[in-house]
Each structure stands twice: as C-alpha cells, then as structure tokens.
Amino acid sequence: MVGGGTLSHLPEFKDEDISSGKALAELGKLALEGAEKLYNAKCNKTNVKVRKERTLTKPQRREYIAAIQCLLSKPSTLPPGLVPAAQNHFDDFVYIHLNQTNMVHGTGNFLPWHRFFIKTYETRLAACGYTGALPFLGMGPRR
C-alpha cells in the first residue's frame, strides 16, 4: 500500500526498458501523478524542483555560494560535545551524512532517507537566500 493505493497498477518492464532508462522515466511519471493526487496537486510539474547537472548560470552560482557561506557562518545545531569538529551548520550536514552512510547506503531506506536529507538541506539553503534546487555536481568528468 502506497499513498492509499496499491502497487498492482505498476507496469511490467522489459530488460531493455530498464537498461535504457525508459522504465525509470515511466516510474518517475507515475510518482509525479501519484504525488499530485496524494497532495491535492500542491506538488506538480510547475513547482517541483529539478536538480540539474552543472548548469547553473553565473548569478545562480553566486546565489548558491552565498547560501553555503551563510550556512558556514551559522553555529552548529548539534548538541554541544556530540561532534566537537562541527564548527558550523554546514558541518552538521557533513557529520549527519557521514554518520548515516553505513546504516543507509545499500539498504531499502536509502532513497527516502536521502530525499529527506536533500530536502532538509535545500530548506536550509533557502533560508539563506538560495532559490534553486541543489545542483547535481556529479563525480565524473565535466562535459
């Protein structure tokens, strides 16, 4: 049971659809449609944030960097003494991600946990003036 419905309406995918990404695109479309219904169209194609790979304009990059600097200027919100190395609010996110890596990565909890983590981080960036989605910087070579 997901969002009041069942998973019985999910399509069967062929191996080539999975390999090509067609299956993932279809699942994304179904997820968006489900979210629109579940959240009374508050989450829709016009207000969803899309992470883009290395495509920020110069003003967007400046805004993003300023928001990071803002997080660096805020004190840590972790309990005093828990993480002595956490000097600021940016460090809080680094610690939480590192601390949870072994418990979350490679498990069925990874996607919901990571989406919550990213959403929380984006919310804190927004409080510092950043209006975009967290950019996807990737690990591969620049294109």
Q: Rounded distance, CA 107 to CA 101, Å? A: 10
- Whole-Å CA distances, 8 to 1, 11, 30, 38, 81: 9, 8, 13, 17, 49
Instruction: Give tens-digit pLDDT for 39-66.
Output: 666 666 677 777 766 678 899 989 999 9
For the chain, give the percent of residues with pLDDT over 70.
Answer: 78
Kindly indicate the confidence band of residue 4, based on its pLDDT and cuts at 50, 70 and 90: very low
Q: In the structure encoding, which two tokens stand for residue 131, read together?
A: 């209006």
Q: Does the structure show a pLDDT above 70 at 133?
A: yes
Longest Cα separation, the chain: 52
Give tens-digit pLDDT for 8-30. Answer: 566 788 888 888 878 777 877 77
* Residue 25 CA: distances (Å) to CA of 16, 29, 31, 142, 143: 13, 6, 10, 24, 23
